[in-house]
Amino acid sequence: MTAYVDQIVGDGISEDEFSFFMGSYRPREVDVVHFYDVAGFLGGRRRTSEERFAAATEIVEDVRSRGIALIRTVIGSPERQDAAAALLDQATDRFVVLDRATPTPDPQRTTFIPHAHHRERFLGYPRGEKVPGRLLCIARAGVGRSAEGPLKTFSVTDTPGLSLRVVGEEDPTIASTLSRAVRRNREAVSSRTEMLSDAELIREIDGAELVILPEVESLNDMGLLFTVLSMDRPVLMPDGPAARQLAEDVGAGWVMRHSGPITAESVDEAVGALRKSSRSERPNLEGRDISSTGESYAEVYREAKNRTASVYRS
């Protein structure tokens, strides 16, 4: 799949120069620093609050002393509000959100840039045929709960002709649950537990009538969500303000939602509603192409750079 950074770089014809870094923060001669996982640079839960505050102070002092604009992407629920988070909130020049529902510390310093679709990325890939009744769950290593719910509830669904397929990296937290489900119903439950290539992932998505996404909380989750929609397959995902807004944006019948943990009833209801809905031929992903998102990020960078440079000169 495409990475988040691809949305920032855009179509590759921008005049901006990019460099990328992970791990500990180090001073750099740049105009803009953009964090999309600032918790990693603060050390996350591995560090004490004092250590987190020291790391945040180092970042803030460096960007302020050099006149560097600080941009942060906010994903999902707000970070825990300790002194380190508060310091970074105050120093951030612009927050970026990928949907209109995500809260930020300051709406006046917030820009909405929609998550890009992946249609151009997968042009020319071999496509598969939809299998009526197939529910697809794409598991990720280290996030076993992403498939555990569907595996535990599928056997008590009432809709005739359903089948469940679980694909993705093997995860020991769901291995026994998956093994039992396959043994109990080999005709209706199948799996492929290995890392998939992009081409293999697209074929698996193509084969689904409905793709179940039990959680959409990270950039990886969002990337998977928009890969599925880009391949013109509907999704079942947790309800919430962002999910409701997305459902409205892409059109009826493409984003099915469930409240609370996924259940057999929520799967049956989603499949029933899906089959009754008169949806468009493709979900509406207008304004989500890579060139549009790249230009939006470039505009945010230029504006933040110019404002910060003005303050720095004064």
Residue span of the structural domain in which 226 resides: 120-276
**Is 283 contained in some domain?**
no
Residue with tokens 């290593």: 141
Say if residue 314 is exposed, middle or buried (CB neighbours under 10 Å; 0-12, 13-18, 19+): exposed
pLDDT band at 143 (very low <50, low <70, confident <90, very high): very low
Residue with tokens 């992903």: 285
- 259 with 169, same domain: the answer is yes
* pLDDT for 295: 92
- 56 with 105, same domain: the answer is yes
pLDDT band at 131 (very low <50, low <70, confident <90, very high): very high
Q: 193: helix, coil or strand?
A: strand
- 258 with 211, same domain: the answer is yes
> How many Cβ atoms are within 10 Å of 37's Cβ, its own excluded?
15
**Is 45 contained in some domain?**
yes
DSSP string, 261-282: S--HHHHHHHHHHHHH----SS
Q: Tens digit of pLDDT for each residue in 249-308?
A: 999 999 999 998 899 999 999 999 999 988 999 999 999 999 999 999 999 999 999 888
- 14 with 60, same domain: the answer is yes
**Is 281 contained in some domain?**
no
**Tally of domains within the chain:** 2
**Is 73 contained in some domain?**
yes
